[in-house]
Amino acid sequence: MGKVAGIDSSTAGTTVVVCDTDTGEVLRQGYAPHPVEGEAATSGKPTESDPQSWLLSLGEAAKDGLLEGVQAIGISGQQQGLLALDAGGVLVRPALLRGDKRAQPQAADLTAELGGPAKWAQAVQSVPQASYPVAKLRWLAQHEPATAQRTAEVLLPHDWLVWQLLGRPQRRTTDRGDVSGTGYWSAAAGEYRHDLVELALGHRVALPHVLGPAEPAGQTPEGLLISAGTGDTMAAALGLGVGPGDAVVSLGAASTVFAVHGEPLTDLSGTITSFADATGRHLPLLRTRNAVRVLRATAELLGTDLAGLSDLALSSTPGAYGLVLLPYLEGESTPNLPHSAGTLTGLRRESMKPEHLARAAFEGMLCGLADALDVLRGRGVAVRRVFLLGAAAELPAVRVIAPALFEAQVVVPEPGDYAAVGAARQAAWSLGVVLGSETAQAPPAWRGGAHQVLEPGDDQPVGQAIRQQYTTVREQTHPGAFAEV
């Protein structure tokens, strides 16, 4: 039995897990928050960070001999952060984090300058958003021109951490998964678009070498193997063990929906972003603006909490006595209705009861997510099994309603540090390839964690009827909303 470690450096802190190389069993784990100062300490939503704090957090999370006996380490880092370095490899400013929304005007400008969303989709399978490093580069050029001029090299958070662990070698590296979220690397072509960096920043910069999925980045001065690392979304997919036919729905205030696919997708409407994954496949991804926030708003209206809302919903019946809630409370991105509002229809005397409104909230949220899954299916992406993540996945109403509306088996994994586990699995893969015990074609087959499996069963016709009721209202209210997807 060997040991490998996975490190997930998120916006909030560092998680370290030590896993058995053969089974994936988590043997030890640690966590430490990132030290924060100034505005970030009070707002709880940092947009910038001194990367040295990530190293301090890592040291704290791995204290007391946590990494003893480890043979290899993998790194998962928050996607779409930006570290700008000068020609000597010195940071020219604090890192810009994923949650920084200041570059939204710059993202819009870049989209227009290249000729619109379709041109960007053809170039890099995505359309610039405020979080993308390509938009952050334009923001730097406009708001901090002296800093932009000094910028000679650009790294992502996981790239920088790998570089630090390796002792800051001359060669910098990244992986195809994380770099596919930059806005200047094409998952379809497997190459950088240096011209898009120049368009954003005003000049070209050095970019890290893109490693293959099982290719190690190198060894630490102490002799530990460091794998390529990847972004947190890709690492979580690897930790969950998803493969072709699997989709993941992450239930937060908003939601992320992605699936595993063998080919990159080019969606000219910009609705689908086609990331690469950490295995050589691809992760077509959509976002919805409205998920658990729909449930919270309804619970507040009814004077209860999420658990109470779930109980109310289950005391109603499928279809909520004809009540239909279009859950576009914050506008919507899937479909592209940024200025829309929520809509409640079907009000009759018999349907105006708390339990029916509660049921309509759950059905509306889940129908909106089913719409996103159908967009993927419509582009040839197989969705036979849906992994449902987030605390709201524990709600009984979600578990009862989701399988029939998704028309798929629903898997609810137990809560876990899946990005860190995925990073450890990548480390085991790289180590196995180096030692000759694994091939570069597929990661090691680890046992999956505990989970609950929910089947549509005999409720599938009921689910189809609810979807039809919802679709009819959506098309009447927003005709052709999905016409261009």
Question: Which residues form the catalytic set?
Answer: 232
CA 268/CA 115 separation, integer angstroms: 12
3-state DSSP call for residue 312?
helix
- Ranges of beta strands (E only) in 365-449 are 383-389, 409-413
**Furthest-apart CA atoms within the chain: distance in Å:** 73
Identify the CA nearest to 320 among candidates 466, 142, 151.
466
Tell me if the bond preceding 335 is cis, omega within 30° of 0: yes
Instruction: Give the number of other Cβ atoms within 10 Å of residue 25's Cβ.
Output: 13
The structure tokens listed for 163 are 């570089």
For 177, other C-beta atoms within 10 Å of its C-beta total 33
Helix, coil or strand: residue 109: helix
CA–CA dist 128, 207 (Å, integer): 19
- Exposed, middle or buried by CB within 10 Å (0-12, 13-18, 19+), for 234? buried
Instruction: Give the whole-angstrom CA distance, residue 285 versus residue 274.
Output: 6
Tokens in use for 180?
A: 């596919």
Beta bridge partners of 383: 245
Q: How many CA atoms lie within 13 A of 225 on its CB side?
A: 23
Query: Residue 374 in 3-state DSSP?
Result: helix
Size (the chain), residues:
485
